Amino acid sequence: MKKRRRRALAVDLNTRGFGFVVLEGNDRLVDWGLRDIRHNKERLTLEKIDELIRLYRPSVLVVEDVDDPTARRGPRIEALVRRVADVAAEKRLPVRRISAGKVRGLFASQGAVTKHDVAGVIVARFPELAPYRPPRRRLWMSEDQRQAVFDAVTLAIANLP
């Protein structure tokens, strides 16, 4: 009988919706994607994350620790991250909060200091994400929405033992 590997659902919320990744064990990327939410943002975000929880049955939900001083989130996203964690806790799904500082430190130790560099480290580990890697961001550009998937991967990796 095969032992079930630990499965993590990592979610990166932003103003346009969220990016997610499902990571099984240390090396198996099960699924990833974006959910664009324009209206009824809190309700629809919670519904869509609930669908992902039911579909993938993760053993842990990983979100950013918005209470950490290194977090750079607006009040609406901070409240939404807390609400997502509360919903998961109500379902008895453990929630792991990872600070932005921990993520930056983890990837800085690998020589990746910008988000573009971090995406390169992620693509080297998970080549299937290469077509989705956002282009290098210029000062006048908004962040590419696909970056949310890569930010979710960073949370999942930082959650690994």
Domains with residue ranges and CATH for the chain = 7-159 (3.30.420.10)
Q: Is the model's pLDDT at 2 over the cut of 60?
A: no
Buried b (16+ CB within 10 A) or exposed e, 112-142: beebeebbbbbbeebeebeebbbeeeeeeee
pLDDT at residue 36, rounded to an integer: 95
DSSP 99: -
Predicted confidence (pLDDT) per residue in 53-103, tens digit: 999 999 999 999 999 988 888 999 999 999 999 999 999 999 999 999 999
pLDDT bin (cut points 50, 70, 90) of residue 24 is very high
pLDDT at residue 1, rounded to an integer: 47
Predicted confidence (pLDDT) per residue in 104-119, tens digit: 999 999 999 999 999 9
